[in-house]
Amino acid sequence: MVQVKEYGEWESPLKSDDVVQASNSIVRMYFDRFDSSKIYWDELRPTEGGMTTIFSINVTDSTDGTPERWTPQGGCDVYDMVHEYGGAAYMDNCIYTVTKHDRVPKRLTQLSETENPGNKSPYRYADMDFSRADNFFFCVREDHYSATVEKDGQCRNTLVAINTNTAQQTIFASGNDFYSTPRVSPDGKKVAYITWVHNNMPWDETQLYIGHFHTDGEKIHVGEHKKIAGEENLNLMEPRWTADGKLLVVADKDGWWNLYEVQHLHSDTPTLI
């Protein structure tokens, strides 16, 4: 039977619960750099209160292809708020992750129980990369201590190196407003990273640096940092090392984001990948 109603008074058969109970969605995927047979992804799950979980799958496995879940159901939300946007809250291979509750990078054993301490750390961590030979990983650390915010007028961003055995942290790079994407070279001696300052956004004007380091097994010793690329109105992002030690970066040198080999970026005929 046809019914006629005023605008806004018609009752839709689609309820809010129907929207909330939407299917799970994949947020980001990682190919394991140390084991090419594995792919990881973080998955947003509305049916679990909107929590983000980590899964992996072995692409060479001849079984039914059922994903392996790394975070237990309930109580573990893989999530960070670095730069307020968040993202990059876990690292592949050994699975170090940051959760919404504790914000401290921790190593996950598959299907392990998780800790949920009552006090949140005033540090936020994200964007981790592992130096496999030395048991250190590098990441962005955002300092929200009240004393820091009072002194600087804002939170303080740095890159830190964390010893996976002792949890000791060493500041690797500091002084600029923002840092991102620390990536360790294959020889385990250098870290490429992106940095920028106010009033730029990360898609406006950024700089690419390489910082040198060595370790004695327990401590990391920071060496020279050198700006490799970066000029007015040039955006650089997502640096990556190739297996043979070449450094690649995405840049909008010609008004379009393209992939370049860094050593040729400023030549008359820059090498596009």
Highest mean pLDDT among 33-37, 66-70, 78-82: 66-70
Which of the listed residues 86, 109, 132 is the one where a domain comes to its end?
A: 109
CATH number of the structural domain spanning residue 202: 2.120.10.30
Which of the listed residues 85, 109, 133 is the one where a domain comes to its end?
A: 109
H helix intervals, 36-152: 146-152
Range of the domain at 172: 122-272
Nearest-angstrom CA–CA distance, 60 and 39: 10
Highest mean pLDDT among 11-15, 130-134, 177-181: 177-181
Q: What is the mean pLDDT of residues 56-82?
A: 70
Condensed to tens digits (0 to 9), the pLDDT of residues 82-134 reads: 544 445 544 544 444 444 444 444 444 433 444 333 345 677 777 788 887 77
> Are residues 208 and 129 both part of a single domain?
yes
Would residue 4 count as lying in a domain?
no
Average pLDDT score over the chain: 75
Condensed to tens digits (0 to 9), the pLDDT of residues 20-47 reads: 566 777 777 777 766 777 888 877 777 7
Selection from 116, 100, 171 nearest residue 141 by Cα: 171
> Are residues 132 and 260 both part of a single domain?
yes
> Are residues 93 and 131 both part of a single domain?
no
* CB proximity list for 3: less than 8 A, separation 6 or greater: none
Condensed to tens digits (0 to 9), the pLDDT of residues 251-270 reads: 988 888 899 988 867 665 55
> Are residues 41 and 80 both part of a single domain?
yes
pTM score, whole prediction: 0.71
Nearest-angstrom CA–CA distance, 255 and 266: 14
> Are residues 142 and 262 both part of a single domain?
yes
